[in-house]
A and B are shown apart, each in its own frame.
Chain A
């Protein structure tokens, strides 16, 4: 079983219909994928509905996250609640490059606290760009110790060591493997923070799922550790969500 913790479908800007990710999942042997748009709600009207439609079309394959702009205030909060309670989404995605909200800023913290009401994980884009650095995202983890904060891309090209460092400091930080190009960093992350706090993900369909699965397999992990990364950890996180329908 493989669950991909970070993929995209969208019809706004970068056009990636759900069939694209489904095809790549089939190629790579991935059973289920977490999907989100490239744009934020409420800025992009209909983005949450698009995810909902995709999940409805492939309920056994796709799991919805709501990508939100924390500056959306009350409107964003109500939309997120709707996504969780009516659409059955399982998590929150934040991309500070897009919305220019500091990970430790008050709007972001409010959004994260709303997600934690549902015990929903919060997936941050965490790379080399301003507002997404691991030491910046760690401020959210520190402010919200009850939140499961996932560092998508594990710090990118140049900040992977920082990502592992902050994961060592904050037990609510979880590392995620997508797109960053170093199999050995996956191994180091597992050794330093434990296999239970590292998730496989691809950032597909732009990043190829087969290649991203291959990267984890090259990391020199035990079969048990691979199993944790490929599905056990994310299943446990998502089964803990109090809204969002049935367990995986």
Chain B
């Protein structure tokens, strides 16, 4: 099974974006069976409605998608409350934090209340990682070490540096923090992905595209052409992602978790309740 562990849904402030139907067309075209939907930052900066957009998409196509919720830690208690709402009402399978777009350092004190709230749940935190000033692998290591019970998923192989200068640091971080895994999307270079898979752990790498920032079809090539065994690739393609996101499950663990969606007119299976008698 191919699972794309990171696909953005919605129109973004920064010019990228895609609709649910565009995502579905591409998944069908490329043979991707399941995808994690990640909210974008919209032009009005309000993340909560985007969390609802993701939840509605998951409700509509529960066999195809699972969703993450997104908060801006600078919103303080409101961000903590949105984590709670995301997990308990919207059925989010994880939290997405974007230090680059929300402009905070990944190990800044402002993040701590959010991660303390996440630690009450068994859900991973996907982190836009590898950005030199806000999510350097040393900063990922620092924050992941302080929350060893929280699983972190680092985007971009946890390092964005086209000279290869951060690969060493990213590997040290992964070796020091067993609670961190990396995504394949945009990673410099393929031999880094092969090295981490074979020398640090096959379970530590997830296929993800981060489309539409990156090209979904091209990102698949990083796994398809990797110099890895079939069994290793099977884990990268989907087994690892399902392991990270499936416990407590790709479904909400709270029977009351569809509250918001029921208000919006969906039942727990993604069917519209509008017009029912």
Contact = CB atoms under 8 A, between A and B. Distances in A.
Contacts of B221: 210-211, 214-215
A127 B191 contact: no
A179 B164 CA distance: 11
Among A180, A205, A214, which residue has the most Cβ atoms of chain B within 10 A?
Answer: A214
B222 interface: yes
B162 interface: yes
A179 B162 contact: yes
Contacts of B45: none
B200 to A, nearest CB: 17
A128 interface: yes
Interface residues on B, range: 20 to 34
Contacts of B186: 157, 181
A214 B218 contact: yes
Interface in A201-235: 203, 205-208, 210-211, 214-215, 218
B189 A206 contact: yes
Interface in B75-123: none
B189 A207 contact: yes
B165 interface: yes
Contacts, number: 68
A119 interface: no
B162 A183 contact: no
Nearest to B163: A97
A77 interface: no
A213 B160 CA distance: 21
Interface in B208-243: 214-215, 217-219, 221-222, 225-227
Contacts of B64: none
Contact of A211 (B160, B162, B164, B222): B222
A181 B216 CA distance: 11
A210 B225 contact: yes
A156 interface: yes
Contact of B190 (A125, A182, A208): A208
B189 A203 contact: yes
A137 to B, nearest CB: 14
Interface in A157-196: 157, 179-184
Contacts of B207: none
A182 B226 CA distance: 18
A206 B225 contact: no
Contacts of A205: 191
A180 B162 contact: yes
Interface in B160-183: 160-165
A86 interface: no
A179 to B, nearest CB: 5
A241 B217 CA distance: 38
Contacts of B219: 181
A97 B165 contact: yes
B188 A179 contact: yes
A207 B161 CA distance: 13
B190 A206 contact: yes
A153 interface: yes
A114 B221 CA distance: 40
A19 interface: no
B31 to A, nearest CB: 16
Interface string A98-139: 000000000000000000000000000101110010000000
Interface in B249-276: none
A183 B218 contact: yes
Nearest to A180: B162
Contacts of A156: 162
Contacts of A206: 164, 188-192
A64 B215 CA distance: 33
A26 B12 CA distance: 42
Nearest to B167: A206
Given A128-B160, A181-B214, 13 more contacts: A97-B163, A97-B165, A129-B162, A153-B162, A206-B190, A208-B225, A210-B225, A211-B221, A211-B222, A211-B225, A214-B221, A214-B225, A215-B221
Interface of A: 95, 97, 125, 127-129, 132, 153, 156-157, 179-184, 203, 205-208, 210-211, 214-215, 218
25 contacts: A127-B162, A129-B162, A156-B162, A180-B162, A181-B214, A181-B215, A183-B215, A183-B218, A203-B189, A206-B189, A206-B190, A206-B191, A206-B192, A207-B188, A207-B190, A207-B191, A208-B189, A208-B190, A208-B225, A211-B190, A211-B218, A211-B222, A211-B225, A214-B221, A218-B218
Q: Nearest 9 A-B pairs (CB), nearest first?
A: A206-B189, A127-B162, A208-B190, A156-B162, A207-B189, A210-B225, A181-B186, A211-B221, A206-B191
